[in-house]
DNA sequence: CGGTGGGTTGAGGTATTTCAAGGCTCGTGG
DNA sequence: CCACGAGCCTTGAAATACCTCAACCCACCG
């Protein structure tokens, strides 16, 4: 669709080594670029590739027939996404900002896993780690208050993308809201509340750069 | 703790064949019985066994420090649970009613998967199917209304345990509520509403036996 | 510059929770 | 055999956390 591609068969199968430290088998690798907002793949589409974010950020989500959206995960630099055991994608994936991904053909991966137990174990480990994330997120969505959700979100992102003391969020308030099962206003209010309590501060006026001033206090909100 | 055990080393490794049609390797198998309310394993405990429900029902859940509970799944006859890739349980599992389980030592399973690709694939398939369930449940918890959640729950249970036209739920309203991220009163009201609309009816006065009178109409509530 | 895409904040509305009362079933013990 | 309490469920009324609607601000961009 908007697949603003930029085919660049890479020569080093570095991707594999990320995928759970695998063998050095040769696999067709390419890099693609997606523009902000572009769809990488759609829910229920056959899964032809597995992806790794090189730079940028991806959201993967499900939609209800009336447009309600639930984001299941954000994928940041280094993350692998689009891995499906059955051959069908169960989320739609979109670039949040301009994003570069590396990709491998799913079938060739399955092929390799067939004879290489290390690769097979890597696939299992990745699936299990996605499962753990989903399980924790169920608890958040089912039982946590808005403040607790936002605090948990900040703590999660802090680990994943704070550099030089500041966390630069690629996603909008709406994205955060759809990840946390809230509205964007509620997210905004929770962030303001945390700012008011001196737990965090904003940098620049775009409000996407956050400095965590009091991590221990923030952690108290995340039960 | 309450492990009301009833050790009975089984002789037929039928368990394996359930686990994704695997090989016929010999594995130590046992059956255990848990009384209603008994804990099978606790969250964060080392995972020594993998379990299969023979008869009865299990709930697995997470707790917040203040007691809020989120049930991640119900395990009914035939279901396998407690499978962890890392060696630690991420849920507490309890018997909802008197329950018989079969169990295998986790390590021996991992051992077998090491050399038998079929077993390894079975583990991956199971993990992936747990993941799919969790992903769908995130959408439910994050974005569906109480009526939609209850409708989805009934449809899920209908597939899994309706016999002779009636669905006999093993779990209480509180369990359902903690599965759906609601309160027990809200669940009760939603069920009453569906009954009022002629979508379902109750059998007996324990209210745990449900007859689905209008499946298509019920499905309309599940977006 | 005007418009568009965020973001914040206020006011009011509402779905769901909380609190409370009452009913039914079942097991236990007098 | 009946009384009693515990567990479970339903229903009503009141409270509230979050949502909706709306106004406004700011940055960015053609």
- Is residue B5 situated within a structural domain? no
Contact A72/A134 with Cβ under 8 angstroms? yes
pLDDT, one tens digit per residue, over A88-98 is 999 999 999 99
Extract the runs of DSSP E, i.e. beta strands, from chain B. Answer: 29-34, 39-41, 49-55, 57-63, 69-76, 80-81, 92-95, 99-105, 162-163, 166-168, 200-203, 209-212
pLDDT given for residue A151 in this prediction = 98
Residue of B nearest to A149 (CA): B142
- Is residue A3 situated within a structural domain? no
pLDDT given for residue B26 in this prediction = 52
Inter-chain residue contact A65 with B223, CB threshold 8 Å: yes
- Least confident range from A111-125, B30-44, B45-59: namely A111-125
Instruction: State the smallest CA–CA distance between residue A181 and chain B in angstroms.
Output: 4
Within 8 A of A127 by CB-CB distance, chain B residues are 85, 124, 127-128, 131
Within 8 A of B120 by CB-CB distance, chain A residues are 117, 120-121, 124
The 3-class secondary structure across A130-147, one letter per residue, is HHHHHHHHHHHHHHCCHH
Is the pLDDT confidence value at B97 over 80?
yes
**Average pLDDT of A179-188?**
98
Task: State what percent of residues in chain A have pLDDT above 70.
Answer: 87
User: Is there a single domain that holds both residue B103 and residue B152?
Assistant: no
The answer to whether some atom of strand D lies closer than 7 Å to the beta carbon of B208 is: yes
The answer to whether some atom of strand D lies closer than 7 Å to the beta carbon of B174 is: yes
Is the pLDDT confidence value at B24 over 60?
no
pLDDT given for residue A27 in this prediction = 65
- Is residue A29 situated within a structural domain? yes
Q: Write b or e for each residue in A163-189: b if 16 or more Cβ atoms lie within 10 A of its Cβ, otherwise e.
A: eeeebebbbebebbbbbbbbeeebbbe
Q: Which positions on strand C lie below 7 Å from a protein C-beta?
A: 6-11, 15-20, 24-26
Contact A106/A47 with Cβ under 8 angstroms? yes
Within 8 A of B143 by CB-CB distance, chain A residues are 64, 68-70, 181
- Tell whether A135 lies on the interface with B, counting CB pairs under 8 A: yes
Is the pLDDT confidence value at A158 over 90?
yes
User: Is there a single domain that holds both residue A136 and residue A155?
Assistant: no
For residue A124, give the nearest of B85, B137, B178 by CB distance: B85
The answer to whether some atom of strand C lies closer than 7 Å to the beta carbon of A26 is: no
User: Is there a single domain that holds both residue B33 and residue B97?
Assistant: yes
pLDDT, one tens digit per residue, over B1-22 is 333 333 333 333 344 444 544 4
Q: Which residues between 29 and 58 in chain B have a beta carbon less than 8 angstroms from any beta carbon of chain A? A: none
User: Is there a single domain that holds both residue B19 and residue B127?
Assistant: yes
User: Is there a single domain that holds both residue B63 and residue B92?
Assistant: yes
- Is residue A81 situated within a structural domain? yes
Which of the pair, A19 or B108, is modelled with greater confidence? B108
pLDDT band at A19 (very low <50, low <70, confident <90, very high): low
Inter-chain residue contact B138 with A143, CB threshold 8 Å: no
pLDDT band at B205 (very low <50, low <70, confident <90, very high): confident
- Residue A31 CA to residue A8 CA, distance in Å, equals 5
Q: What is the mean pLDDT of chain A?
A: 89
Among B110, B135, B160, identify where a domain stops: B135
pLDDT, one tens digit per residue, over A38-81 is 999 999 999 999 999 999 999 999 999 999 999 999 999 999 99
pLDDT given for residue A205 in this prediction = 81
The answer to whether some atom of strand D lies closer than 7 Å to the beta carbon of A181 is: yes
- Is residue A2 situated within a structural domain? no
pLDDT given for residue A213 in this prediction = 97
B78 CB burial (10 A radius; 0-12, 13-18, 19+): exposed
Inter-chain residue contact A131 with B132, CB threshold 8 Å: no
pLDDT band at B48 (very low <50, low <70, confident <90, very high): very high
pLDDT given for residue A8 in this prediction = 36
User: Is there a single domain that holds both residue B130 and residue B148?
Assistant: no
User: Is there a single domain that holds both residue A137 and residue A202?
Assistant: no
pLDDT, one tens digit per residue, over B148-186 is 999 999 999 999 988 888 999 999 999 999 999 999 999
**Average pLDDT of B86-95?**
97
> Are β-strands B49-55 and B99-105 bridged in parallel, bridged antiparallel, or unpaired?
antiparallel
- Is residue A52 situated within a structural domain? yes
Among B135, B153, B184, identify where a domain stops: B135
CATH of the domain at B183: 1.10.10.10
Mutation pick from A65, A135, A177 vs chain B, by most beta carbons of B within 10 Å, is A135
Q: Which domain holds residue B188?
A: 144-221
- Tell whether A208 lies on the interface with B, counting CB pairs under 8 A: no
Residue whose C-alpha is closest to residue A92's, from A64, A66, A60: A60
Per-residue tokens: A137 = 């997120």
Q: Which helix (H) or strand (E) holds A201?
A: strand A200-203
The answer to whether some atom of strand D lies closer than 7 Å to the beta carbon of B185 is: yes
- Is residue B69 situated within a structural domain? yes
pLDDT band at A1 (very low <50, low <70, confident <90, very high): very low
Instruction: State the smallest CA–CA distance between residue B174 and chain A in angstroms.
Output: 14
Among A116, A141, A166, identify where a domain stops: A141
pLDDT band at A114 (very low <50, low <70, confident <90, very high): confident
Per-residue tokens: B4 = 């009301």
- Residue A32 CA to residue A101 CA, distance in Å, equals 5
Indicate the SS3 state at residue B18.
helix
CATH of the domain at A41: 2.60.120.10
User: Is there a single domain that holds both residue A105 and residue A194?
Assistant: no
Is the pLDDT confidence value at A12 over 60?
no
- Is residue B2 situated within a structural domain? no
pLDDT given for residue A29 in this prediction = 84
Is the pLDDT confidence value at A206 over 90?
no
Which of the pair, A47 or A206, is modelled with greater confidence? A47
pTM above 0.85, yes or no: yes
pLDDT given for residue B115 in this prediction = 86
Contact B29/B104 with Cβ under 8 angstroms? yes
User: Is there a single domain that holds both residue A95 and residue A153?
Assistant: no
Within 8 A of A138 by CB-CB distance, chain B residues are 70, 72, 134, 137-138, 141
The domain tally of chain B equals: 2
User: Is there a single domain that holds both residue A110 and residue A125?
Assistant: yes
pLDDT given for residue B163 in this prediction = 85
């Amino acid at each position: 669709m908007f697949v603003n591609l930029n085919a660049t068969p890479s020569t080093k199968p570095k991707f594999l080594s990320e995928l759970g430290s695998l063998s050095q088998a040769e696999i067709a690798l390419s890099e693609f670029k997606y523009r902000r907002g572009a769809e990488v793949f759609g829910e229920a589409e056959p899964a032809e590739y597995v992806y790794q974010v090189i730079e940028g950020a991806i959201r993967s989500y499900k939609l209800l027939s009336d447009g309600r959206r639930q984001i299941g995960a954000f994928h940041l630099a280094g993350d692998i996404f689009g891995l499906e055991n059955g051959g069908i994608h169960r989320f739609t994936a979109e670039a949040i900002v301009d994003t570069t991904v590396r990709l491998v053909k799913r079938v060739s991966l399955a092929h390799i896993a067939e004879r290489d137990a290390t690769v097979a174990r890597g696939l299992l480990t990745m699936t299990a780690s996605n499962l753990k994330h989903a399980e924790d997120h169920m608890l958040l969505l089912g039982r946590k208050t808005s403040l607790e959700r936002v605090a948990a979100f900040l703590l999660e992102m802090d680990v994943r993308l704070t550099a030089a003391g500041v966390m630069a969020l690629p996603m909008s308030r709406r994205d955060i809201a759809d990840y946390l099962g809230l509205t964007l206003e509620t997210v905004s209010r929770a962030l303001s509340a945390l700012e008011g309590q001196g737990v965090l501060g904003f940098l620049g006026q775009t409000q996407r750069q956050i400095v965590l001033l009091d991590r221990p206090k923030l952690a108290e909100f995340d039960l």
